[in-house]
Structure 1
Amino acid sequence: MKKVGQIFRENFVKHIKENVSSNGNVFLLNYSQLSGEKLSDLRKNLSNAGANMYVSRNSIAQIALKELEKEQLSKAIEGQTAFVWSSSDSVEISKILVEFAKGIDSVSVAGGLLEGKILSKADVQKLSELPSREVLLAMLLSAIQSPITRFAQALNAKTRELLSVLKQLSEQKGGN
C-alpha cells in the first residue's frame, strides 16, 4: 500500500509530464526573494497571454523531466523554479518572462522547450527579441505581395505608354 505522500508526489509528476507533453512551449523561471504581489502580477500577465505558471519542488520536477527524457532541461532547475507552459505564441510568453526578469536581480529565465527542442537561457533571450507572430506574418505577406505588386505596376506602365503613344498619333493625324 502506498503512502499518501507518495501518491501526491506521483500525481505532481504526472501533472508536470502531461503539461510539458501537451504544450508546445515550456519555460523555466528561476526566482528567489520574490514577493507574493510580484509573483501574482506575473501570473496575471502570463494568464492574459494564454500561459500558466506552476511551481513545483525541484526533485519532483527533475523526476518528471527525466521520465520525459529531458534531463538536459532538468539541469537548469536550481533554487525556486517555476514552469511556464502555453500552447499560444511562444514569442509573447518569452517577452513577458524576459521583461519581468530584467527588473529583478533574483529572477532569471533558465531555459525551456519549444516544440520539443531544448532552449538555453540565451535561446529564450533571442526568442524574446523576435517580432510577434502577427508582425512576422505581415512581413511574410509583404514579401510575397511585393513582387506581384511590382509586376502589376510594370504591366500598367506599359499600357499607359501604349495609350500615350496612341493619343499622340491621334493628335498628329488631326483627331481629338
Structure 2
Amino acid sequence: MSKVVKKMMIDDIRTAVGEHRDLLVLDASKVDAVSANKWRLLMHSKKISVLGVRNSVANAALREVGIDLADSLKGPSTIVWGAEDVVALAREIVDSLKDCKNLAVKGGTLSGTALSASDVEKLSKSPGRKEVLGQLVGLILSPGANLAGALLGAGGTLAGQVQSVAEKTE
C-alpha cells in the first residue's frame, strides 16, 4: 500500500471517529456475511457506527487523536462507537453477542482509559447516563417529597376531624 493511500485511510478513520473517545473493538471475522449484514443494519438503526479496519492504519489514526488501542488492535478488528453513551454502546454490543455467536469483544477505550473484554462486560451491567441522572434527581427530590407527604398526611387528618366536628354540631 502506498503512503498516499495509507494517509487517505488514516484521514478517513480520523474523520469517521470524529470527537468520539469511547470506542469498542470487536472481532467479527468469524461471522458469516448474512449475519454480519443483519448485525450492521441493527447497529445502524441504533445509531452505532461500525468500521472494519486494518490494525496498523487504525492505530496510527487513533494515536493522532489521543486514543491508544494498541492492546486491542491485534488480529481482525472492527471498531464501533456511538449510541447515547458508552454504557448504552456496551449494552448493545453485549446483547448482540447473544444473537451473533461468532462476534467477540476484544477491548475498547473509555475516555482514554483502555478496557479489556471483561471490563466491557462489567460496563454493560452498570447504570447508564439516564439511569444515573434519574437516581440523582430522585435523591434530590426525596426530602421534599417526604416533607410534602408528612404535611399532607397530618393536614388530611386534621381536615377530617374538623369536618366530623362540624357535622356533629349541625
Normalised-by-shorter TM-score class: 0.7 to 0.9
Equivalences for residues 28-47 of structure 1 within 5 A: 28-47=25-44
Shift of 1:102: 3.9
Corresponding position: 1:26 with 2:20: no
For structure 2, the 5+ residue unaligned runs are: none
**Residue 149 (structure 2) aligns with:** 153
- Evaluate the alpha carbon distance shift between residue 170 and residue 66 of structure 1 in structure 2; reply closer, same or farther with a 3 A threshold: closer
Of residues 68, 79, 87 in structure 2, which corresponds to 1:83?
79
Distance 1:68 1:165, change over 3 A: same
Q: Tell me what 1:163 maps to.
A: 159
Query: Which has the higher mean CA deviation after the structures are superposed, 86-95 or 120-129?
Result: 86-95
Given the two structures, how large is their TM-score scaled by the length of structure 2?
0.80
Unaligned 5+ residue runs, structure 1?
Answer: none
* Native 8 Å contact 1:51 1:88 kept in 2: no
CA distance 1:150–1:37, change in 2 (3 Å): same
Q: TM-score, normalised by structure 1?
A: 0.78
Q: Are 1:67 and 2:61 matched, yes or no?
A: no
Contact kept in structure 2, 1:30 and 1:81, CA below 8 Å: yes
Q: Which amino acid aligns with 2:25?
A: L
Larger Rg: 1
Q: Judge conservation of contact 1:29–1:109 (CA < 8 Å) in 2.
A: yes
Instruction: State percent identity of aligned pairs.
Output: 26
Query: Structure 2 vs 1, CA of residues 160 and 87 (structure 1 numbering), >3 Å: closer, same or farther?
Result: closer
- Could you say if the C-alpha distance between residues 103 and 167 of structure 1 is closer, same or farther in structure 2, counting changes exceeding 3 Å? closer
What root-mean-square deviation, in Å, do the aligned CA atoms of Structure 1 and Structure 2 show?
A: 2.7
Give the Cα–Cα distance (whole angstroms) in 2 for the partners of residues 131 and 120 of structure 1: 19
CA 1:33/1:161 → structure 2, altered by over 3 Å: closer, same or farther? closer
